[in-house]
Amino acid sequence: MTPINAYAAQDESSKLAPFTIERREVGANDVQIDILYCGVCHSDIHQVRNEWGGSIFPMVPGHEIVGRIIKVGEEVTDFKVGELAGVGCFVDSCRTCPSCLANEEQYCDTAMVATYNGRDKEGNPTYGGYSTQIITDQKYTLHVSEKLALEGVAPLLCAGITTYSPLRHWNIGKGHKVAVVGLGGLGHMAVKFAASFGADVTVLSTSPSKEKDALALGAHHFAVTKDTATMKGLQGKFDFILSTISAQHDYNQYLNLLTLNGTMVVVGVPPQPSAVQAFSLIGKRRSLAGSLIGGIKETQEMLDYCAEHNIVSDVEVIDADYINDAYERMLKADVRYRFVIDIASLK
């Protein structure tokens, strides 16, 4: 086992700081990846601060990983040394339950093995991409095109697939009026995908300063949610709403913007529950649903779609030692639109 440089939180109240981890030896089906970039997801903050409960420390976050393969095991057929590769939110699952067999490993009955803040099948804690290397099973590793700017590809591994998957599942496209709530890491990818699929896209944001960016990202309209008159005017207007809000808020405010038979899908995971009024749903036969990342097959499809359509995340590249400041800025909704760690700063 070789020691690997990483950034870790030692407990839920400490800042992230340099830390050394060990990775397993490269097994027959494994690829060893020299990490080049790792995106910073708001889920990293929730878990580092133990906002969802059950966090495992020390924690090395990071599940938007891209890098170059430096070694492959003898049974690896799908990847070669020197190729780019990506790793998203999970690195294993049971492989036999109906969800796993349906290529939806994120909904594994036994539970997927999270890329970090999880335990592998031997019970060892998993460590994520705020580190210089990772070793993953080829089945849970993604192919990454050489065509796109790599720092912009990293966030596709979580922010990308988490927004692509529900838009595809609900068949969003031409003729649909879509609202994306929250213009952060997930939100800005949702705008790019929904616009690319042909929908009419509105961004609903608490930040008036993001209007110009929203339109540049492909949105057709922008509204500030703190403006009561504007919100009233938008009631019953949207077929589909994708909510990426990371903090406590009132779901009813957004449900009431859905048209007859409209659906709101929640991907944001505020730590606190929110009360839903039956009246927000029944009057117009509305649905409230949720969605979790996406399976490996669909993640590959999304990466290939991005390579074909030249879609990447808009990023601010940072050194690893800026991570605590980046978290503070994300908590103030001050991210345009994804922080990505240049892992060279850890080497």
Least Cβ distance, residue 111 to ligand NAP (angstroms) = 14
Q: For residue 122, how many other CB atoms are within 10 A of its CB?
A: 6
What element of type H or E holds 305?
A: helix 296-309
**Rounded distance, CA 338 to CA 211, Å?**
17
Q: Which of 191, 303, 330, 343 binds ligand NAP (CB under 6 A)?
A: 330
Whether 266 contacts 243, CB under 8 Å: yes
Least Cβ distance, residue 345 to ligand NAP (angstroms) = 21
Q: Which of 210, 251, 302, 327 binds ligand NAP (CB under 6 A)?
A: 210
Q: Which does 42 bind (CB under 5 to 8 A by kind): Zn ion, ligand NAP, none?
A: ligand NAP
Which residues, 23 to 42, sit near ligand NAP by CB under 6 A?
41-42
Using rule CB under 5 A, residue 158 touches Zn ion:
yes
Least Cβ distance, residue 69 to ligand NAP (angstroms) = 25
Applying CB under 6 A, the site for ligand NAP has a residue count of: 31
Least Cβ distance, residue 240 to Zn ion (angstroms) = 21
Position 77: which residue type? T
Least Cβ distance, residue 159 to ligand NAP (angstroms) = 6
Report residue 342: phi and psi, to 5°.
-80, 110
Using rule CB under 6 A, residue 241 touches ligand NAP:
no
Using rule CB under 6 A, residue 46 touches ligand NAP:
yes
Nearer Cβ to ligand NAP, position 40 or 346?
40
**Rounded distance, CA 100 to CA 107, Å?**
8
Could you tell me the maximum CA-CA distance found in the chain, to the nearest angstrom?
63
- Ramachandran area for residue 318 (φ above 0: left; ψ -120 to 50: alpha; else beta): beta
Using rule CB under 6 A, residue 108 touches ligand NAP:
no
Paired sense of beta strands 287-290 and 258-266, if any: parallel
